[in-house]
């Protein structure tokens, strides 16, 4: 089954931003040092915040549970280092708001040996047990969305998952974490796939990889165990192929219905790094303590793919990689969907797949926003076949309800393709983000009344 | 207290009907009085206007008779000039000789229907006068068909070439581009108003093809009546 | 370390290099050969007209923006396009004061009144042209001979008509455009002459080959929707072929229809005005077809010899509807767009 | 009139009337503040259709004023007699009568003028200004006030028509009231006489009014 | 004049001499109702419908008036019949579909004072059209009116989200567009003249 | 003769139509309370929704049906409300005047921007980009969304880009409350004079680094306030408005002026101990 499929079918529209992956794609993953003080927000994932189970001043060892899941749509948090709980209070987060969190002081001379938990055996554990184990390991989507993985894997009553898709597309420019993970952690990935196949009861598994990572695809195809119903599919390079819906369309030719989930078309998509993490952690019953982050961008001297403990402050990271002191812009994530950072005292969280740094001279920010000239470039870029031009115009006049009701605003997943191509540099994605929030707010207030 | 808005508007139908009928009758009275008061003057003005037009297209005319073109292709004299498209006006000079026949014609122009009247002299088989009665042609461009002297010069003597038995027109009148007139029956058009002048040519052509043979057929009638 | 203020903005943090001003500037470059040829063919008059129209448009744009307290918008090059296009659609020897007025109307009425670049629902140059056509019908249908020997030494008399006065009576030559010749005299101009622009006509419409070259340049650079000229030309071709096959005497061949009049200029540079044309690919096909059909209808059955301008204006008027009716199917929805998102 | 609230349907006219009970105000408001064309944007059809010359505009305006005056008077007189359900029909009857009268009068005076104005004299019947005033003002006010209102609105209308007609004739023919203003070498702007010119000229005047209003606010 | 072909009558009434853009008939509803596509098309339909009714009525009335020799009552009888017909339609719609009534709002009674309807009746009489010709004329005029209304509505809907200068917004802009549309419709001039 | 024909003809025509209309009037009549129109006309037509109804007409219907009282309309003048009450013969139902109050004093002269924001000039949009770049994560971003949504011209930005409520014009429609992404606005009865002008949940003097008028949670106001009027909750003073709060004692020792007193003129008075901010220019941007 381990045949290398080269597929030319892809999804409609999309864009081709310059990749910039050559700086880091050849650099192996390196361990990052432990920062003296870690910042651990309770909301590193989408959903209910975790609840601290430690108190200030308590000593914890690496891998110990710091906070338990706050509910089903929540995951626990484990200590990334051995140290002492310095303070429990407000910590700054990427969203610009404060959130509850834990400051953890690292023991400077600790060996940082991780504690082992109860292993989950892939052959014996039941479906439910695996899901529980995934939640207990604090695993969320490492591709960027940080959605609790166990929720995603739970096949609802009456639905069936026939295909498990492992997302190794990594379509964001600059980022090479998934690329490196695929090259270096193939065994973990295959182990993870075993867990996932069991958890989802899927019949087959496809690993989707873009053609610019041919070596990874070949490596995976070459060393895949023969007993796995596994296919490696190479896809043409296009952004945003890594988006769930786009990947499903590209691989299976199915369209996830508007407002629906991949499971509605019998597919579940899991990021390749998440898969590797599952494969590595579950046999040891550990929780996530670190993740692979690509640190790159023209403002960084020691570019590379680093294994960074969760909670490492961004400032520490940047100082270590010798970022340009004239730093002007820092993004967490890729340039297309990543978030600009306003405060360097925020931590690396589970969802952070990359750190990009630029100095003022290296940013080409369009200074002038022209009115929409109806060129239609956004329409031909939007992978969801929306009409961003129309939406943008409506957003400008705050016609949010019309956007949602008549123009499928809620189908937009903010991939940024429209803003990328817009010759008038209209901040379309920002408009849509705002509009979506306003629509949700109004819907809430409506149901509240 | 205004009854219009503050009380439920339920008024007896009887009152409604009486009020409206009364208003109607009253209005009719007013109108008919006004009509009868102004009628003579309006009739006079209308007649004068028509006469002016006819005199213009039939030079030397002093008296006239009105004929209606019957569907069977004959002419019949009428006394009252009711509004009717199929009228021809015979004009006579002082001596009572037929000086020409005025014919109304109309057709689609550039902007809207163009109405014209032209005079035809059966004796010389020529168009002898022309006037635009109504047109909405573009001012300054298409409306040159009313004013352009060079264009109007065409109609002083424009021969209608008939077949030998005078039962049909041999060469239909057409308008050509200004300065390109070669045949006698061609109309020298107006620069910049090509479409309108062609429309005039078209109207004339259609009308003459239709009417001129009829006139020749009924020539005795036209002339005879004059002599009585 | 890191003492500078961070800058934040929303994602995506990278943009494709092409900006609106780049597009506009390239359109101007694409028109350059046509304009150059126009000057070669018609001499000083054409040059003066190009300069006057462009100056009028740029000046009006600048002044109006200033008057309404906005930043001047001339740097986006769109006013230059309008000016150049307007000049290219006017006959050589057209009085300069009228050209200037046309430029003012094109920008003031056709663009600024609607809110400036991006909001004009009609092609501004065509609004200016239509205004001039209606205001000065005689002057705008007075054609001059191409390749007049003294064209680089002197200016056609009518060009320098004193403002607000009537241009002097027609010069020695007043040739008919190929379309007028066909309409009124049923004379067909050879395709070779048409393609190379050896004919009388508007300043910029004579050489179909150079216009097409400009269009190809824009298409190659991805700055023009190729569907528009293709669909217009296809619609004209198909429609006139049918007519031509039915009655070769009465209806001219598609090649004649393609190359004569302002069809090429209109299809390549006017109908493709992004602002006033539909945005969706399918909408664009409908739009182009509509314009093509209207061109043939007006040319063949209408009172006027040429109808490209009117056809495009009508196409512009319809394009908001096309934007509403002909829209892509949203991913993950059934065909009908109006299904409400739940 | 005891209950002001019953005037709900048209409290604007009523309240302003109450506030300035002098009839001069009724007259002036039509001229300027509530000018039927420039402010209320009513009666557009004749405004645009016949104003290709100042003379036509004036004639049309006067004819309209006459009809407005007579119908306002009569409607005001009969306002208590006519039941609500048939009021529109009755007003129209009254208006149509006077329009017919005017039509015949104009025909009797000059054939030329009648031809120039064409069917638009008849179309005075459906001029929103007239029915609007009958419905909104005359049916609720005394005869005296209604007459002043009609005169004000009428002259406001005349003024607007003249303003339009003059501009269009001046640019379109180079003359005003048929008298050449510009020398014969003047190049006429044919568009001004065309329908499009009507739209543009009216837009221009409305623009001027808007400009004036915002400008005044700024001062 | 009565020999015009039905096709020519239709084209003439709808395109060449469009009631709104060339004759300035029905400008008030044109300015008022053309803001929204939905209302515009409904209004267009309503006007066309009323036009048809009044065209037939006018033809019958004219024949009757000619028969009794009272042509001078033409105007008053036309308008009173049209007004009553509209009022009946209005009452009917109010009863049958309150939503439609609310959508068209005050403009239903304004159809009465819509010059296009009376103008149509007068023009068809002046031109001496027969019954069939009258009906086609009414259809053409209605189609032209609806076309102008819908085109305008589309453009205005788009311009609703435009940075139009405040002094131009509203009626001025609508008139400007009407002017440009009128210019564009000039392209149809002479259609069928040769 | 012609006169008779005319009168008879037109008379019979009108008669016919009148009968038709009368019949239609009977068959097709739809009743609608005319008072709704009348009341709607007397309302301000702002359609602001402050009354809790989706617009003026639904409110008018509610008024006529006795489901609401005229006092609910905060936009009308007193006179207008009285008129409606008089017309409908109902009580006025007057309520205490509410106004919108801003709970932030951090203009650009006292508060610092951590990062420079590029994008749509709107608070709501800026708040999406890492919180908008303001040093104080709770503070006013100053792009004036509240000013833009105010239909009554009751809000404007002062020279330090901080919105100021015009108490006279404010109708408490709540538009600004909804618009503010930082939830800094709330509708308060005008009688509430004692006011906490900060929402910063941090404690300690380091908050002053970001904003010089922020509440440092020192708790002096709570100590000075009589009998439990003020308690410190989440590092902010909480005033218990159900008690008598007409005392200026708590503001006297506030070091930053984060708690103050709304004067009759609508000015915000600070205690004598509060640091006087004299800088009129924006603070330097940058990040710590």
Beta bridge mates, A232:
A4, A207
Listed by start position, the domains of chain D span 26-165
What single string gives the DSSP state of each residue in C115-155?
A: TSTTT-SS-HHHHHHHHHHHH-HHHHT----TT-TTTTTS-
Characterize the bridge pairing of strands A37-41 and A98-106.
Answer: antiparallel
For B61, B79, B180, B208, the CA distances from B56, given in Å and listed in that order, are 9, 22, 28, 19
Mean pLDDT of F98-104: 90
Mean pLDDT of C255-263: 87
CA-CA distance, A139 to A47, in Å (whole number)?
13
Name every chain B residue with its beta carbon within 8 A of the beta carbon of E2.
Answer: 85
pLDDT of residue F286: 56
Beta bridge mates, A77:
A67
CA-CA distance, D123 to D133, in Å (whole number)?
16
Nearest Cα to Cα of residue B8 among F21, F32, F63: F32
Q: Locate tokens 């002094």: which residue?
A: E167
Mean pLDDT of chain C: 86
- Centroid of chain to Cα F24: 49
Beta bridge mates, A235:
A210
The answer to whether the CB of A329 falls within 8 A of the CB of A358 is yes
Out of F17, F18, F37, name the one closest to residue D8 (CB): F37
Nearest Cα to Cα of residue E60 among E86, E75, E84, E78: E78
Nearest 10 degrees: CA dihedral of E162, E164, E169, E172? -110
The answer to whether the CB of C92 falls within 8 A of the CB of C156 is yes
Query: Does the pLDDT at position E112 exceed 70?
Result: no
For E106, E123, F40, F54, the CA distances from F45, given in Å and listed in that order, are 18, 43, 8, 12
For the ranges A252-261, B218-227, D99-108, the lowest mean pLDDT is seen at B218-227
CA-CA distance, F63 to F77, in Å (whole number)?
17
> What is the SS3 string spanning D119-135?
HHCHHHHHCHHHHHHHH
In chain B, the N- to C-terminal Cα span, in Å, equals 76
Say yes or no for a CB contact (<8 Å) between D45 and E76.
Answer: no
CA-CA distance, A65 to C184, in Å (whole number)?
93
pLDDT of residue D23: 63
CA-CA distance, A338 to A342, in Å (whole number)?
13
Listed by start position, the domains of chain A span 4-26+119-284, 388-448
Nearest Cα to Cα of residue A48 among A153, A117, A135: A135
pLDDT of residue C126: 95
pLDDT of residue A397: 86
pLDDT digits (tens, 9 = 90+) for F50-75: 676 767 777 888 888 888 778 777 77
CA-CA distance, F105 to F232, in Å (whole number)?
19
CA-CA distance, E188 to D37, in Å (whole number)?
30
With contact defined as 3+ CB pairs under 8 Å, the chains touching F are A, B, C, D, E
pLDDT of residue C341: 36
CA-CA distance, B110 to A138, in Å (whole number)?
81
Name every chain A residue with its beta carbon within 8 A of the beta carbon of C70.
Answer: none
What single string gives the DSSP state of each residue in chain F?
A: -HHHHHHHHHHHHHHHHHHHHHHHHHHS-----HHHHHHHHHS------TTSSSSHHHHHHHHHTTSS-GGG-SSS-HHHHHHHHHHHT--------EEEEE-----TTTB-BSEEEES-S-HHHHHTTGGGSBSSTTS---S-HHHHH-TTS-EEE-TTS-EEE-TTT-----HHHHH-TT--EEEEETT--EEE-------STTHHHHBTTS-----HHHHHSSTTSEEEETTEEEE-TTS-----GGGTT-SS--EEEE-TTS-EEE-TTSPP----SPPPP---
Which candidate in E57, E60, E68, E99 is best for mutational testing of the F interface (most F CBs within 10 A)?
E68
Say yes or no for a CB contact (<8 Å) between F15 and B20.
Answer: yes
Nearest 10 degrees: CA dihedral of D109, D115, D116, D121? 80
Sign of CA dihedral D152, D153, D154, D156: positive
pLDDT digits (tens, 9 = 90+) for C10-67: 888 888 888 888 999 999 999 999 999 989 888 888 999 999 999 999 999 999 988 8
pLDDT band at D22 (very low <50, low <70, confident <90, very high): low
Angle at A26 between CA A22 and CA A31, to 5 degrees: 120
pLDDT of residue A60: 92
Angle at F129 between CA F126 and CA F130, to 5 degrees: 120
Out of B85, B109, B110, name the one closest to residue E2 (CB): B85
Q: How many residues does chain B have?
A: 228
Mean pLDDT of A347-358: 91
The answer to whether the CB of A148 falls within 8 A of the CB of A45 is yes
More confident position, B94 or F164: F164
Token pair of D189, please? 């702007």
Are C and D touching by the rule of 3+ CB pairs within 8 Å? yes
Which candidate in D105, D122, D124, D167 is best for mutational testing of the E interface (most E CBs within 10 A)?
D122
Q: Is F158 on the interface with C (CB under 8 A)?
A: no
Sign of CA dihedral B187, B189, B194, B196: negative
Helix (H, G, I), strand (E, B) or coil at C210: helix
CA-CA distance, D165 to C94, in Å (whole number)?
29
The answer to whether the CB of A209 falls within 8 A of the CB of A217 is yes
Q: Residues with Cβ < 8 Å from D83, sequence gap 6 or more?
A: B11, B15, B16, B19
With contact defined as 3+ CB pairs under 8 Å, the chains touching E are A, B, C, D, F
Are A and B touching by the rule of 3+ CB pairs within 8 Å? no
Token pair of C297, please? 């209808």
CA-CA distance, D156 to D160, in Å (whole number)?
6
Characterize the bridge pairing of strands A327-332 and A37-41.
Answer: unpaired
Backbone angles phi, psi at C30, to 5 degrees: -65, -25
Q: Is A401 on the interface with F (CB under 8 A)?
A: no
CA-CA distance, A101 to A94, in Å (whole number)?
13
More confident position, B42 or A292: A292
Name every chain C residue with its beta carbon within 8 A of the beta carbon of E172.
Answer: 113
pLDDT of residue E118: 87
**CATH architecture for segment(s) A4-26+119-284:** 3-Layer(aba) Sandwich (3.40)
For the ranges A375-389, D27-41, D50-64, D155-169, the lowest mean pLDDT is seen at D27-41
pLDDT band at D214 (very low <50, low <70, confident <90, very high): confident
Beta bridge mates, B129:
B119
Q: Is E102 on the interface with F (CB under 8 A)?
A: no
Token pair of D216, please? 């005044």
Nearest 10 degrees: CA dihedral of A331, A335, A339, A342? 40
pLDDT of residue E1: 41
% pLDDT > 70, chain F: 91
CA-CA distance, A369 to E54, in Å (whole number)?
54
Q: How many residues does chain D have?
A: 219
For helices B13-57 and F2-27, give the axis angle rounded to 10 degrees: 130
CA-CA distance, E54 to E18, in Å (whole number)?
18
The answer to whether the CB of D117 falls within 8 A of the CB of D109 is no
CA-CA distance, A336 to A339, in Å (whole number)?
9
For the ranges B73-77, B211-215, C169-173, E181-185, the lowest mean pLDDT is seen at C169-173
Highest mean pLDDT among B71-75, C247-251, C276-280, F261-265: C276-280
pLDDT digits (tens, 9 = 90+) for C100-144: 999 999 999 999 999 888 899 999 999 999 999 989 888 888 777
Q: Residues with Cβ < 8 Å from A444, sequence gap 6 or more?
A: none
CA-CA distance, C306 to C298, in Å (whole number)?
7
E68 → chain F, closest CA residue: F5
The answer to whether the CB of E12 falls within 8 A of the CB of E185 is no
Characterize the bridge pairing of strands A83-92 and A59-60.
Answer: antiparallel
Q: Nearest CA of chain E to the CA of B106: how many Å?
A: 7
Q: Is B37 on the interface with E (CB under 8 A)?
A: no
Query: Does the pLDDT at position C237 exceed 80?
Result: yes
Task: Tell me how crowded residue F166 is: count the other CB atoms within 10 A of its CB.
Answer: 15
Complex ipTM value: 0.85
Nearest Cα to Cα of residue F192 among F50, F51, F76, F96: F96
């Amino acid at each position: 089954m381990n045949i290398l499929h080269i597929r030319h079918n892809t999804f409609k529209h999309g864009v081709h931003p310059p990749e910039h992956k050559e700086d880091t794609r050849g650099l192996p993953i390196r361990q990052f040092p432990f920062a003296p003080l870690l910042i651990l927000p309770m909301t590193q994932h989408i959903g209910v915040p975790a609840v601290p189970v430690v108190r200030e001043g308590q000593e914890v060892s690496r891998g110990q549970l710091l906070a338990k899941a706050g509910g089903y749509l929540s995951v626990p948090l484990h200590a990334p280092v051995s140290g002492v709980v310095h303070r429990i209070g407000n910590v700054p987060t990427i969203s610009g708001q404060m959130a509850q969190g834990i400051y953890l002081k690292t023991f400077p001379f600790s060996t940082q040996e991780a504690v082992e938990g109860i292993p989950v055996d892939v052959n014996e554990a039941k479906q439910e047990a695996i899901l529980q184990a995934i939640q207990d390991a604090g695993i969320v989507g490492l591709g960027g969305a940080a959605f609790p993985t166990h929720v995603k894997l739970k096949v609802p009553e009456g639905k069936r998952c026939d295909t498990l898709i492992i997302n190794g597309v990594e379509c964001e420019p600059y980022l090479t974490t998934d690329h490196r993970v695929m090259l270096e952690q193939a065994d973990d990935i295959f182990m993870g796939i075993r867990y996932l196949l069991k958890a989802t009861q899927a019949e087959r598994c496809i690993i989707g990889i873009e053609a610019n990572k041919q070596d990874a695809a070949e490596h995976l195809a070459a060393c895949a165990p023969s007993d796995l119903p596994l296919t490696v599919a190479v896809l043409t390079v296009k952004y945003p192929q890594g988006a769930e819906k786009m990947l499903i369309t590209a691989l299976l030719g199915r369209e996830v219905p508007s407002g629906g989930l991949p499971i509605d078309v019998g597919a579940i998509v899991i990021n390749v790094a998440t898969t590797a993490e599952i494969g590595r952690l579950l046999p040891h019953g550990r929780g996530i303590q670190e993740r692979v982050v690509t640190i790159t961008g023209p403002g960084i001297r020691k570019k590379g793919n680093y294994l960074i403990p969760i909670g490492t402050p961004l400032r520490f990271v940047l100082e270590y990689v010798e970022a340009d002191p004239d730093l002007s812009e820092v993004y967490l994530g890729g340039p297309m969907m990543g978030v600009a950072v306003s405060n360097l005292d925020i931590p690396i969280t589970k969802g952070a797949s990359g750190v990009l740094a630029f100095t003022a001279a290296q940013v080409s920010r369009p200074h002038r926003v022209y009115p929409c000239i109806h060129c239609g470039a956004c329409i031909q870029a939007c992978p969801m076949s929306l009409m961003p031009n129309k939406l943008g115009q409506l957003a400008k006049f705050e016609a949010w309800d019309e956007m949602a009701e008549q123009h499928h605003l809620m189908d937009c997943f903010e991939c940024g393709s429209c803003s990328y191509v817009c010759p008038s540099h209209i901040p379309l994605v920002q408009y849509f983000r705002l509009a979506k929030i306003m629509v949700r707010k109004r819907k809430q207030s409506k149901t509240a009344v | 207290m205004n009854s219009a808005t503050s009380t439920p508007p339920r008024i007896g139908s009887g009152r409604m009907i009486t009020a409206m009928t009364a208003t109607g009758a009253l209005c009719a009275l007013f109108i008919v009085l006004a009509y009868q008061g102004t009628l003579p003057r309006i009739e006079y003005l209308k007649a004068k206007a028509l006469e002016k037009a006819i005199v213009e297209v039939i030079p030397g005319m002093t008296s006239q008779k009105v004929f209606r073109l019957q569907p069977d292709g004959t002419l019949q004299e009428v006394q009252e000039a009711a509004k009717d498209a199929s009228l021809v006006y015979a004009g006579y000079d002082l001596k009572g000789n037929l000086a020409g026949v005025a014919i109304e014609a109309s057709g689609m122009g550039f902007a809207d229907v163009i109405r014209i009247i032209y005079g035809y002299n059966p004796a010389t088989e020529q168009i002898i006068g022309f006037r635009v009665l109504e047109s909405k042609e573009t001012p300054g461009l298409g409306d040159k068909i009313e004013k352009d002297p060079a264009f109007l010069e065409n109609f002083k003597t424009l021969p209608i070439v008939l077949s030998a038995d005078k039962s049909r027109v041999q060469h239909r009148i057409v308008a050509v581009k200004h300065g390109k007139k070669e045949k006698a029956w061609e109309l020298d058009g107006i620069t910049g108003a090509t479409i309108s002048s062609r429309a005039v040519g078209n109207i004339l052509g259609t009308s003459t093809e239709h009417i001129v043979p009829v006139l020749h057929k009924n020539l005795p009638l036209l002339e005879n009546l004059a002599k009585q | 370390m890191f003492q500078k203020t961070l800058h934040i903005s929303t994602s995506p943090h990278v943009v494709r290099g092409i900006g609106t001003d780049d597009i506009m500037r390239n359109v101007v470059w694409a028109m350059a050969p046509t304009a150059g040829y126009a000057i070669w063919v018609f001499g000083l008059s054409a040059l003066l007209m190009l300069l006057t129209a462009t100056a009028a448009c740029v000046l009006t744009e600048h002044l109006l923006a200033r008057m309404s307290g906005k930043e001047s918008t001339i740097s986006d090059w769109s006013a230059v396009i309008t000016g150049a296009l307007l000049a290219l659609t006017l006959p050589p020897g057209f009085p300069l004061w009228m050209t200037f007025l046309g430029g003012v109307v094109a920008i003031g009425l056709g663009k600024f009144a609607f809110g400036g670049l991006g909001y004009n629902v009609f092609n501004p140059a065509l609004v200016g042209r239509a205004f001039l056509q209606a205001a000065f019908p005689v002057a705008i249908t007075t054609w001059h001979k191409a390749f007049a020997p003294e064209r680089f030494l002197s200016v056609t008399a009518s060009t320098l008509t004193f403002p607000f006065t009537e241009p002097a009576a027609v010069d020695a030559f007043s040739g008919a455009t190929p379309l007028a010749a066909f309409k009124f005299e049923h004379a067909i101009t050879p395709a070779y002459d048409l393609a190379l622009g050896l004919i009388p006509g508007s300043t910029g419409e004579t050489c179909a080959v150079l216009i097409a070259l400009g269009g190809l340049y824009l298409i190659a650079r991805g700055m023009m929707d190729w569907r528009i000229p293709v669909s217009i030309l296809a619609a004209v071709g198909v429609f006139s072929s049918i007519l031509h096959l039915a009655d070769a005497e009465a209806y001219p061949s598609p090649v004649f229809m393609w190359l004569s009049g302002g069809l090429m200029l209109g299809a390549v540079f006017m109908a493709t005005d992004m602002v006033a044309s539909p945005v969706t690919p399918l909408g664009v096909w409908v739009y182009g077809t509509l314009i093509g059909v209207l061109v043939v209808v007006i040319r063949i059955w209408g009172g006027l010899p040429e109808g490209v301008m009117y056809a495009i204006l009508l196409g512009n008027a319809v394009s908001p509807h096309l934007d509403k009716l002909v829209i892509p199917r949203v991913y993950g929805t059934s065909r009908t767009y109006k299904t409400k998102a739940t | 009139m005891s209950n002001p609230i019953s005037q709900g349907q048209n409290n604007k006219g009523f309240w302003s009337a109450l506030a300035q009970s002098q009839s001069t105000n009724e007259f002036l408001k039509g001229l300027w503040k509530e000018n039927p064309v420039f402010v209320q944007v009513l009666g557009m059809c004749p405004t645009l259709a016949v104003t290709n010359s100042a003379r036509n505009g004036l004639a049309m305006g006067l004819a309209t004023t006459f009809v407005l005056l007579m119908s306002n008077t009569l409607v005001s007189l009969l306002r208590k007699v006519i039941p609500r359900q048939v009021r529109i029909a009755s007003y129209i009857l009254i208006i149509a009568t006077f329009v017919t009268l005017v039509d015949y009068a104009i025909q009797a005076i000059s054939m030329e003028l009648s031809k120039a104005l064409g069917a638009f004299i008849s179309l005075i019947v459906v001029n929103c200004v007239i029915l609007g005033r009958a419905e909104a003002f005359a049916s609720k006010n005394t005869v005296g006030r209604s007459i002043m209102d009609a005169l004000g609105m009428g002259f406001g209308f005349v003024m607007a028509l003249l303003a339009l007609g003059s501009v269009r004739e001046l640019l379109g023919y180079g003359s005003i009231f048929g008298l050449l203003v510009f020398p014969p070498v003047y190049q006429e702007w044919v568009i001004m006489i065309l329908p499009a010119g009507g739209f543009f000229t009216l837009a221009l005047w409305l623009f001027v009014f808007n400009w004036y209003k915002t400008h005044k606010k700024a001062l | 004049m009565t020999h015009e072909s039905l096709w020519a009558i239709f084209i003439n009434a709808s395109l060449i001499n469009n009631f709104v853009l060339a004759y300035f008939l029905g400008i008030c509803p044109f300015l008022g109702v053309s803001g929204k596509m939905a209302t515009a098309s409904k209004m267009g339909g309503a006007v066309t419908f009323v036009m048809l009714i009044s065209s037939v009525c006018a033809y019958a009335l004219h024949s009757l008036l000619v028969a009794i020799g009272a042509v001078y009552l033409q105007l008053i009888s036309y308008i009173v019949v049209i007004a009553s017909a509209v009022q009946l339609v209005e009452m009917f719609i109010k009863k049958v579909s309150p939503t439609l009534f609310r959508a068209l709002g005050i403009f239903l009674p304004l159809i009465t004072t819509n010059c296009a309807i009376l103008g149509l009746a007068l023009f068809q009489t002046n031109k001496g059209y027969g019954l069939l010709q009258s009906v086609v004329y009414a259809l053409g005029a209605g189609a032209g009116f609806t076309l102008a209304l819908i085109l305008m509505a589309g453009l205005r809907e788009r311009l609703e989200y435009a940075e139009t200068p405040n002094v131009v917004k509203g009626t001025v802009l609508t008139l400007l567009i009407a002017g440009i549309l009128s210019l564009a419709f000039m392209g149809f001039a002479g259609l069928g003249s040769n | 003769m012609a006169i008779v024909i005319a009168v008879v003809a037109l008379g019979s025509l009108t008669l016919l139509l009148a009968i038709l209309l009368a019949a239609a009037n009977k068959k097709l009549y739809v009743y609608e309370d005319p008072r709704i129109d009348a009341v709607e006309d007397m309302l301000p037509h702002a359609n602001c929704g402050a009354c809790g109804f989706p617009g003026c007409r639904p409110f008018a219907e509610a008024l006529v049906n006795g489901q609401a009282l005229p006092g609910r309309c905060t936009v009308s003048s007193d006179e207008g409300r009285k008129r409606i009450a008089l017309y409908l013969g109902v009580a006025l139902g007057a309520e205490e005047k509410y106004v919108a109050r801003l709970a932030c004093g951090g203009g650009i002269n006292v508060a610092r921007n951590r990062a420079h924001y590029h994008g749509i000039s709107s608070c709501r949009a800026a708040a999406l980009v890492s919180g908008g770049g303001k040093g104080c994560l709770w503070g006013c971003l100053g792009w004036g969304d509240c000013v833009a949504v105010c239909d009554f011209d009751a809000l404007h930005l002062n020279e330090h880009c901080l919105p100021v409520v015009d108490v006279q014009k404010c109708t408490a429609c709540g538009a600004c409350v909804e618009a503010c992404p930082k939830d800094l606005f709330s509708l308060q009865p005008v009688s509430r004079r004692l006011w906490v002008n900060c929402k910063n949940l941090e404690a300690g003097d380091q908050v002053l680094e970001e904003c010089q008028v922020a509440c440092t949670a020192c708790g002096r106001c709570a100590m000075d306030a009589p009998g439990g009027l003020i308690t410190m909750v989440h590092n902010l003073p909480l005033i218990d408005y159900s008690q008598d709060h007409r005392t200026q004692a708590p503001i006297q020792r506030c070091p930053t002026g984060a708690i103050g007193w709304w004067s009759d003129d609508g000015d915000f008075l600070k205690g004598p101990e509060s640091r006087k901010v004299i800088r009129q220019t924006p603070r330097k941007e940058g990040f710590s």
